Amino acid sequence: MSELSCSSKSLEVTMHPRTSFHFGSNLQLTLNYRLSDLLFQKYKLSKFIRFISVFFITTLLFISVAHAEDKLLGAPQLFENMKHALKSLNYQGTVVLMKNGQLDTMRYKHSVVDGIEQERFSSLNSPLREVTRKSGEVSCLFKETSQKVINHHPVDSSFIINLPEDSSQIDAFYSLAKQGKESIAMLPAEIITIQPKDQLRYIRKVWIESQYFLPLKVEVYDLNGMILEQLVFTDLKVEGINEPNPTETNENTLQVKHIHASQAEPFENAPFVLNNWPAGFKTLFFIRNSMQQAEKAVEHLLISDGFSSVSIYMEPKEAQGVQGLHSLGSVNSYSKVLDAYQITVLGEVPAQTVEFIATGITLR
């Protein structure tokens, strides 16, 4: 029981000591509870801060490692990876090709069967045609006329981009450099430039897909930086299958013509000499073709630095020979008369290159 006493100046409450004791314990419990709650909230906040810190540090480390790996994978390694992927993987897609002022949309398929490459271009617009490369044989099927021409060619190179078999000499004539990243066909790609170290070759730029290292886009530029050729995949699918899609055309209904190249000979057997030989270009083959309809023989020398190829033709001169420079898109040719022969130098190189080679040709 509490005892109350009142006065005019103040109100004093005297509580039983036992009651006062219980009141203090409750207050202490309340304070302890609030203190514990504050400590718990602080602990949770501290734990959250530690989690955020670990998360950001881990993210930064991941980005740093990825950036370091990206830096380590330089242009030469990307180039080598592309060379391997281009020849070894099975893939297909839609390709838009701009060349010689024309724009074509085609279906493309590449497959490897028993170690043998096969690639096919099928046009989606008229005139409908299908071009296939397989083991040194290039065939062209004209679907609307049911004609097929098979060219047995000694050189086997990709439809997408010409690449040198031996990369060890590239640095002597070209500079490879990375030039950022872009998305092509909604796929991430690394850009590399292939810059010639002289004025005798074209500049190239390749967009290499980041996962499989396939070329998604290829551009060829003249010496002034103007685009001469462009090939772009609008979609790309990498497959596990190794069988090419069969053609829908009945082979028995086709008119087939075979073009057989003569047996390759050493260039020393050629009746002409190249005195102006562009550095880095090597002989791919020299053959003598017989042109039955014209009843004349044509000597054909093909040289290349891996990216660019140049053909040199020598044949008996017509009544009026052809002289001078001619151009069509990225292809340039230079013709001259040498005694009783017509000389023509033609290739996907700058005009000054074909002129340089042609003016240095003499008879043996």
Rounded Cα distance between 249 and 140, Å, is 13
The CATH number assigned to the domain with range 262-363 reads 3.30.200.100
Q: Do domains 76-252 and 262-363 have the same CATH topology?
A: no
8 A C-beta contact, residue 254 and residue 113: no
In this model, does residue 41 exceed pLDDT 70? no
For 194, the 3-state DSSP assignment is: strand
Rounded Cα distance between 183 and 197, Å, is 29
For 32, the 3-state DSSP assignment is: helix
pLDDT of amino acid 61: 45
The per-residue pLDDT for range 155-203, each reduced to its tens digit, is 778 999 999 988 888 999 999 999 999 999 999 999 999 999 999 999 9
DSSP 85: H
CATH superfamily placement of domain 76-252: Lipoprotein localisation LolA/LolB/LppX (2.50.20.10)
DSSP 364: -
In this model, does residue 261 exceed pLDDT 90? no
The per-residue pLDDT for range 114-140, each reduced to its tens digit, is 889 999 999 998 888 899 998 778 989
Beta-carbon contacts of 133 under 8 Å, excluding residues fewer than 6 positions away, are 117, 118, 119, 120, 156, 158, 159
- Domain borders along the chain are 18-72, 76-252, 262-363
